[in-house]
Structure formats: structure tokens, C-alpha cells
Structure 1
Amino acid sequence: MIKFIAIAPLGLIIIVNFATILVKGQLPPDVKKCKYEDEQCFIEQFNYVLSNKKNGDRSMNLVSLEPLEITSISIQQPSGSVTIDLRFFNSKLHGLSEARLFSAKGLHKDITKPCEFRAKGDTIMLIGDYKIDGRVLFLPISGGGAANMTIRDYEFKLKYDGTFVEKKGKKHGKVRKLVADLKIGDLDIDFENLFNGNKQLSDNMNVFLNENWREIWNEVKKSAIGAFESVFRTLIDNTFSKLPYDELFSE
């Protein structure tokens, strides 16, 4: 199980998993390390792993991506026209393995230079249980039960630069600055059992949420992505700390 405390830019999960594979040094024969700045190699290997290792691979310490099990996700938006405390739990992400990396700029020998990754996909679904309380576009909302959030036509971007830290005489990477972004083309929301099971109010609110999804997303996007920038900074730094930076590449 993976435990998160905010809704994740989906491509980050993929990138961190792939980075973990590399630093573990446990690549099977069908997956290879890449040279510095070899964008095409990294894209090919990244997408190969998504397609061929989606059920997980113990030799690579890779968890199953189809579906990806998530213990907890939370969006907390304290101000604006959307003020909510939304929590998902016992959830699964479906469709993650269908994403494709299409750009990988950087990957320099000098880690202080910026790196930028871009991935996109058609559909991804978060299915599980939820609990919500607050206001959406100034209307009250509350409830808990089963939920399905489906994102379509998404594009994810992650940009970071780093610095070197010395560990036992070896240079390890450490993230200095990280910025993420997620663009989506459509969002379908289905919350069951809103307003203590009042079907009419629940149905009406779901219609309202889907009719106004873009405005809602624009309100919560910064808080949601910002929370996970710090989470994944920690994950990437933990990955870098396992192996000297120059051993992540084949030169």
C-alpha cells in the first residue's frame, strides 16, 4: 500500500517508481540504464517499464501499477470559493500504466542544471471510499461513501534541479527546487451518499460538480499539487540517497 496526504500529480508516481528502480540497481536484462542527457533512451525505457511491468516486478522493487493501491489521499482547501476537506481512502488508481512519457529534458551529469519531464494519458480513474465536508462554489457539501473520479486527456509536467551532497566520500543527489503541474481535459465526479444519503440532494450536487468541474479544479489545483511537491521531494531525495549519482547512469 502507498499512503499519500494529498492528491497526487499522477505522473509523479510513475517517475518516482522508475527512479527507484534505477537506484536499486536491480534492473532485469530487458531494462537498461541510460547515458547522461539521452532523452530518447530514457523515454523508451520509461515507457517500456510502464507497458511491460504494470503488474509489478519484485526484482525491480516495483509495485503493481494496475491498479495502484493507495491507502489515503487528502485535499484540504481552506479559502476561496471552494473550501473543503476531502479525503479518499482504500482507493485504487486505474489506467496509470497507459500513460506515456514524451519528453525528458536534462538528466545532466551536473545535477544543478534543471531537468523536466512530461507525460500524458487518456484516462485515469480513482475509485474508493471518500469523506467530504465544506463548501463548493459557496454551496455546502458533506457526505461519505463510495467515489469515482475520472480524469481524461491529462498532461503532467515535473521540473526540478538539485545539488550534490557528500556521503561516505561519494556524491549523492538532492533536490533543490521542484515544481509540478497537471493539465486535464475533463473530470467526472461521482460521490455516493452525499448529505446523509438524501438521494435528491446527492444527485443534484453531483450534477452541479460535473457541470462546474473546471472552475472547481482551478480552485483546488494549486493546493493539491503544492502539497505533493513536498511529498515527492522527500521521495526523490530518499531515492538519491541510496546510490551515488554517477551510478544511476551508464556514462
Structure 2
Amino acid sequence: MRKLLIVLIGLQLTLSSECSILPQHIKKCRFGNTTCIRDIANALIRNFPKGIPSVGLKPLDVVHVKDTVLIDDRQEGVLWYFFQLLNQINYGFENTTIIDIKGFDEDPTSSKIIIKGQIPRLIYKGIYKAMGRLLWMVRINSTGESESEFLNFRFDFTLKVQTEYRNGKRYLKIYQLVPNVYVDRWIQWLENFFPENTDLTIAMNRIFNANWVEFWNELEKPILEVFTSVFLSMIEDIFYNVSYDDMFLSNNENVN
């Protein structure tokens, strides 16, 4: 029997931007100075939880995620399952800490860009829709609220980029993003999973929470596919709006 739920998160990062948009205390870094870049990324996350629309930095405190069909078995036979997530919202990304950044050299195509971070507590809320048949005994047809809590959520993602020129400046375009995610604990609740049997709904949620590692491992592939889409949608806006050359100090500029 499979009882499935997925976390969708989205996390956007920006490393630096035009001085006319960011406050004076946010400094630019030199290309490849990953310690400086990491510190600026953390400063932006802390100081701009509502985002900076003019540069494509989206809000971190409330993150909306597109509707997703997580499981879509062929609806035939005695064992199949369908699970969809709707109206998804995530809370807690404003508490992200970037712990390591690699890459962002003067030639961004010369090496991979790797970003690692962690979030102490990530809350996920939305609506789920489930349908299925589990042998001849159980039929599932339920819709309700879902809530998940992820403790010590860690992530890393690797970018490969190419450059394109607009108005004489270089802009980054991502052609590959590979994410990895890790959690210490996943606690969830699916409301009304068995609409006519509250006891069975409670029992199902208890089973999930007692065996959350197995469910997480089973869902690894679709989880990472969703994360890829979410990370891309957030980072691409920044790279599209802010030229790579404007993110960093040029050779003839001094640090303020």
C-alpha cells in the first residue's frame, strides 16, 4: 500500500545586483570570491524576505508552487494510485542560510556553480487530491488540506550555465540544474484521507510519520524533478534581469 505526499519547495538566491537597487551596505564581490558571494547571498536573504521585484528576486517568506501531479498510475487493475498537490504554499525560506558557494568565476562557463544551504524548519501547506484502488478492499477518493513540517532541511544544487549577450553585457542562461535535498525529520498530516472514517485517517497518518524515511526514499525521483522546476523558475528570473557583469566588481572598480 502506498500513501504518498511530497514537499515542494522553492528557493531563490541572488548573489549581487546593481548598486542603485540594493542598499549601500550590500557590497559587490570580485569574480570567484566565494566567501564574499556567500556572505552577500545571506545578507540579501535576511534583509529582503519580501524579495526585490525589480531584479527578479521573489519573496522568500511565502513561496507559491505550481499544481503538481505527483503520482499518476494507469487507472486499471486492482492496484493503482493518483496523487495531486494543489494551491501549494511554503513558509520558512526566509530563514535559509547559505553555507557554501563555488564557481561564479569571471568566465562562468569554466566551472560548475554549486550552492549549498540549510533551513531549520520548513512548513508546507496546501490541498491534496488522492484517488486509488488498493486490491479489492480499499478505494480512495479524497480531497483535503495537507500540512508538512521538515526539520533541518538541507539542499545543494549544481548549475551549468552559458552566456548570452544583450546590450553589450553578458547574461547567464541555465542549461542544467541538478538538486539534492536532505531532511532530519518529515512530519505530515493529510486531512480526510478516508472521509467517512476518521480513525482510519488518523491511523494512516501515524503510519506515514512512523515510516517517513521509506516514503521519502520512494518519492526521491519525482521530488527532485519538482525541485528542479522550482529552483529554475526562481533563479532564472534573476539571471534574466541582472547581467552577470553587473553582479560583480570589474577589474577597475574598488570595494566600497
TM-score with structure 2 setting the length: 0.78
Q: 3-state DSSP class of the match of 2:27? A: coil
Q: Deviations over 1:79-108 (max 9, x none)?
A: 6x995423131x432222222100001111
Distance (Å, rounded) in 1 between the aligned partners of 2:218 and 2:116: 23
Opposite residue 170 of structure 2, the aligned amino acid is: K
Q: Is the 8 A contact 2:55 2:241 kept in 1?
A: no
Q: 3-state DSSP class of the match of 1:166? A: strand
Q: Is the 8 A contact 2:160 2:174 kept in 1?
A: yes
Q: 3-state DSSP class of the match of 2:130? A: strand
Which residue is equivalent to 1:103? Answer: 100
Instruction: Summarize the Cα distance change of 1:56–1:152 in structure 2 as closer, same or farther, 3 Å threshold.
Output: same
Query: What RMSD in Å do the two structures reach over aligned CA positions?
Result: 3.0
Q: Is the 8 A contact 1:156 1:181 kept in 2?
A: yes
Opposite residue 42 of structure 1, the aligned amino acid is: I
Opposite residue 27 of structure 2, the aligned amino acid is: K
Q: Is the 8 A contact 1:98 1:121 kept in 2?
A: yes
Q: What percentage of aligned pairs have identical amino acids?
A: 23
What is the Cα deviation at residue 226 of structure 1? 1.6
Q: Deviations over 1:62-81 (max 9, x none)?
A: 55433x142644252346x9
Please tell me whether residue 93 in structure 1 is matched to residue 90 in structure 2: yes
Of 33, 36, 43, the match for 1:38: 33
Instruction: Summarize the Cα distance change of 1:29–1:58 in structure 2 as closer, same or farther, 3 Å threshold.
Output: farther
Q: Deviations over 1:24-46 (max 9, x none)?
A: 96212232222211112122122
Instruction: Summarize the Cα distance change of 1:56–1:114 in structure 2 as closer, same or farther, 3 Å threshold.
Output: closer
Residue pairs, 1:146-161, within 5 angstroms: 146-161=145-160
Which residue is equivalent to 1:77? Answer: 71
What is the Cα deviation at residue 157 of structure 1? 0.4
Q: Deviations over 1:166-214 (max 9, x none)?
A: 3344432211321011011110010111122420121111111111211
Which residue is equivalent to 1:174? Answer: 173
Q: Is the 8 A contact 2:34 2:101 kept in 1?
A: yes
Query: What is the aligned residue count?
Result: 236
Q: Is the 8 A contact 2:125 2:147 kept in 1?
A: yes
Residue pairs, 1:17-32, within 5 angstroms: 18=14, 22=17, 26-32=21-27
Q: Is the 8 A contact 2:152 2:183 kept in 1?
A: yes
Instruction: Summarize the Cα distance change of 1:118–1:98 in structure 2 as closer, same or farther, 3 Å threshold.
Output: same
Please tell me whether residue 196 in structure 1 is matched to residue 190 in structure 2: no
Of 121, 129, 132, the match for 2:130: 132
Distance (Å, rounded) in 1 between the aligned partners of 2:121 and 2:147: 13
| Greater Rg by CA | 2
What is the Cα deviation at residue 132 of structure 1? 2.5
* Structure 2 portions without partners, runs of 5+: 1-5, 74-78, 251-256
Distance (Å, rounded) in 1 between the aligned partners of 2:150 and 2:170: 40
Which residue is equivalent to 1:3? Answer: none
Instruction: Summarize the Cα distance change of 1:134–1:250 in structure 2 as closer, same or farther, 3 Å threshold.
Output: farther
* Structure 1 portions without partners, runs of 5+: 1-5
What is the Cα deviation at residue 118 of structure 1? 0.2
Q: Is the 8 A contact 2:9 2:65 kept in 1?
A: no
TM-score with structure 1 setting the length: 0.79
After TM superposition, the structure 1 stretch with the greater mean CA deviation from structure 2, 29-38 or 207-216, is 29-38
Instruction: Summarize the Cα distance change of 1:153–1:55 in structure 2 as closer, same or farther, 3 Å threshold.
Output: same
Q: 3-state DSSP class of the match of 1:177? A: strand
Q: Is the 8 A contact 1:24 1:242 kept in 2?
A: no
Instruction: Summarize the Cα distance change of 1:196–1:23 in structure 2 as closer, same or farther, 3 Å threshold.
Output: farther
